[in-house]
């Protein structure tokens, strides 16, 4: 990818790997992962969440990114994008472990704080 056109998650290698592996999962596993990511909304301010819903309504099924075609996945990825870096890292690590263990259906977010 040319410099200047980096995706928001390219700066964190763990987050990048988690999302790239998630892209390759079955639809059922993507749905389970999306539900897990959506559970992160407690970590994101309400005004930001409302903006995410606006993005979902505006771009859902119209964009060129792999997750744009699924409104639930679009909402989940947008939530992850605006989550604090620590929350992104925790979610990415949990996603990677769940993908490795073929166990996306059992994901739950715990902040460990």
List Cβ neighbours of 51 (8 Å cut-off, separation of 6 or more): 82
Please say whether the beta carbons of 96 and 21 come within 8 A: yes
- Residue whose entry in the numeric block shows the structure tokens 């977010």: 109
**Is 39 domain-assigned?**
yes
Q: Which residues span the domain enclosing 88?
A: 13-105
**Is 8 domain-assigned?**
no
Q: 3-state SS of 19-41?
A: HHHHHCCCHHHHHHHHHHHHHHH
Q: How many domains does the chain have?
A: 1
Query: Taking the chain (113 residues) in consecutive chunks of 10 residues, what is each chunk's mean pLDDT?
Result: 72 93 92 89 75 73 80 86 89 90 76 52
pTM of the model: 0.69
Angle (CA) 108 62 51, round 5°: 55
Q: What are 45-70's pLDDT values in tens digits?
A: 777 777 777 777 776 667 788 888 88
């Amino acid at each position: 990818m040319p410099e200047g056109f980096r995706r928001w998650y390219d700066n964190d290698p763990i987050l990048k790997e988690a999302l790239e592996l998630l892209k390759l999962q079955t639809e059922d596993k993507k749905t389970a992962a999306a539900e897990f990511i959506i559970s992160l909304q407690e970590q994101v301010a309400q005004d930001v969440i409302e903006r995410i819903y606006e993005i979902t309504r505006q771009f859902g099924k119209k964009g060129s990114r792999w997750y744009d075609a699924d409104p639930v996945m679009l909402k989940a990825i947008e939530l992850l994008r605006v989550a604090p870096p620590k929350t992104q890292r925790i979610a990415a690590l949990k996603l990677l472990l769940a993908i490795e263990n073929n166990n996306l259906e059992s994901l739950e977010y715990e902040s460990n704080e």
